[in-house]
Copies of this chain bind each other. A is one copy, B any other.
């Protein structure tokens, strides 16, 4: 995975002095793939040639404004943009952010703050937050390994797949590992309905799960029945 500092940054501003300053600040901070432009024309050319990963964009440019430049960039491809502006008008800020800019900073700004904001934008743009729901657990029951991502059960005899209902059941039992889960709650998880009518069906599925999980299905070690109460999953070792 690329490091944040390997990302390419394009600076667009007509004040040569400012560019020089920004360049210095950014380099000192560890960024090194920097390009700059002082006109819209030049910016478009650089954008196409360098394919920067972030653009710092002044709103006022000699041959046009930053807003239309932003649109031009976005037309080509998605890129994070930070506006730098001398004008602190509400209207401009709203316009810039509304067009899809990632931040809008008004001059004069603290170098430190600029750096932090740049980092924040880069971090989120290229190293997104992992959603909770992405990763499902992997765990062991004795010698058997269960992977809920792939829906597989691996024993020394080989790998088998879980069916939809088996998966739903096992997932629910795993959520409540060590604790008794009532028949009702299991049915809720699998069929979304009440237990009524599914009592026997549930048992059959439990049996099938045991055939996949237990060394001796008739003498279960892990998927234990709690008579009159429900079932529970014991001996879970998380990986």
Residues of A within 8 A of B (CB): 2, 51, 53, 77-80, 90, 93-94, 97-98, 100-103, 110, 112-113, 116-117, 120-121, 124-134, 136, 149-151, 161, 163-165, 167, 176, 178-180, 224, 226-229, 232, 234
Q: Are B167 and A229 in contact (CB under 8 A)?
A: yes
Query: A113 to chain B: which residues have CB within 8 Å?
Result: 90, 93-94, 97
Query: A224 to chain B: which residues have CB within 8 Å?
Result: 161
Supply 28 A–B pairs (Cβ within 8 Å), ascending by A.
Answer: A2-B131, A2-B134, A53-B129, A77-B132, A78-B129, A79-B129, A80-B124, A90-B113, A93-B113, A97-B116, A100-B120, A101-B120, A121-B124, A124-B125, A125-B128, A127-B128, A128-B128, A150-B232, A150-B234, A151-B180, A151-B229, A161-B226, A163-B227, A163-B228, A164-B226, A164-B227, A165-B228, A167-B229
Q: Are B132 and A149 in contact (CB under 8 A)?
A: no
Q: Are A150 and B78 in contact (CB under 8 A)?
A: no
Q: Are A124 and B128 in contact (CB under 8 A)?
A: yes
| A41: min CB distance to chain B, Å | 22
Q: Given the interface contacts A113-B90, A151-B226, does A126 sit within 8 Å of B126 by beta carbon?
A: no
Query: A150 to chain B: which residues have CB within 8 Å?
Result: 178-180, 232, 234
- Oligomeric state, in copies: 2
Cα distance, A224 to B102, chains bound together (Å): 41
Q: Are B164 and A229 in contact (CB under 8 A)?
A: yes
Q: Are B129 and A126 in contact (CB under 8 A)?
A: yes
Q: What 7 A-B pairs are tightest by C-beta distance, nearest first?
A: A164-B228, A124-B124, A97-B116, A128-B128, A149-B179, A125-B129, A124-B125
Nearest residue (CB) in B for A116 is B97
Cα distance, A2 to B101, chains bound together (Å): 22
Q: Are B94 and A112 in contact (CB under 8 A)?
A: yes
